[in-house]
Structure 1
Amino acid sequence: MSPTARRRTRHLVLAAAVLVQLVVLYVPRVPDVGAVGVPGADKVVHAAVFAAVTLAALRAGLPTVPVLVLVTAHAPLSEVLQHQVLPGRSGDPADVVADLVGVALGAAAAWWLTARAARPAAVRAAGPGRTGRDP
């Protein structure tokens, strides 16, 4: 894939992740995720949407510090907005914690993928702990 196509794809993935996050966080009435019988499913969803946006933004090449500041600030802001503005929604401090866990996971995944891609192909092919060079 050409660098231009890769960049375009990463920006589309970011747009999709932001759209999903906005729907999950700001639809006035949502189905009760806890009703699926999985304890903590709501927290997993919160962590996943914040991880996806963070990972996609960093992989799209956006500057790290502004991305982390914005997604970190969005976590408590989204809960305040849910509580104050959206009918049928309430803010939950535990959701903020789940959101911030998602930010950390997304940033860690972006770092790992970037570091992995930066390694020479011979080292990647040799496997973990190997240099890809003859002894």
Structure 2
Amino acid sequence: MTGEGLRRWSSVPAIAAVLFQLGVLYAPSGAGSAPFPNFDKLVHCAVFALPVFFAVLARLPMAPVIAVLAVHAPVSEFIQATLLPNRSGDPWDVVADLVGVTLGAAAARFALHRRPTAGSAT
């Protein structure tokens, strides 16, 4: 497979993660009862970490990816609070989102630095 074809396919997990994130954040109602207190904060963290992680692994530029998702965090809470009648906004969800962005970027950097380069011994 050519470099361009490989890059195109490497974007698929990032696209899937963004679509999953949008579904979680903008579903008309919440997912129901949580298995433990503050479970939703864990979900928020994960749905922001995964798109960052996979986008950076797909070699998208890290700074714009982080910027877009960092801006999306408060915007999504504002939309939930004002436009989705069965949802509410929570400032602590924004904090969890931003923690997720940070963790996703850190995990992606770690994974990229751990990858062997072509031609190197493993």
TM-score scaled by structure 1? 0.81
Identity %: 48
Matches within 5 A, 1:1-135: 3-32=3-32, 35-118=33-116, 121-122=120-121, 125=122
Q: Which residue identity is paired with 2:55?
A: A
Structure 2 residue runs without a partner (length 5+): none
1:133 aligned partner: none
* SS in structure 1 of the partner of residue 115 of structure 2: helix
Q: What is the alpha-carbon distance in structure 1 between the residues aligned to residue 31 and residue 62 of structure 2? A: 34
* SS in structure 2 of the partner of residue 94 of structure 1: helix
Structure 1 residue runs without a partner (length 5+): 126-135
RMSD of the alignment, in Å?
A: 1.7
Q: What is the alpha-carbon distance in structure 1 between the residues aligned to residue 29 and residue 77 of structure 2? A: 14
| Cα drift, residue 5 of structure 1 | 4.6
Q: Where do 4+ consecutive residues of structure 1 move more than 6 Å?
A: none
Q: What is the alpha-carbon distance in structure 1 between the residues aligned to residue 34 and residue 18 of structure 2? A: 25
CA contact (8 A) 2:45 2:99 kept: yes
Task: Write out per-residue CA displacement over residues 40-86 of structure 1, whole angstroms, 9 at most, x where no aligned residue.
Answer: 21111100010001111111111111111100000011000100101
CA contact (8 A) 2:34 2:40 kept: no
Instruction: Point out which structure has higher relative CO (alpha carbons under 8 A, 6+ apart).
Output: 2
CA contact (8 A) 2:52 2:104 kept: yes
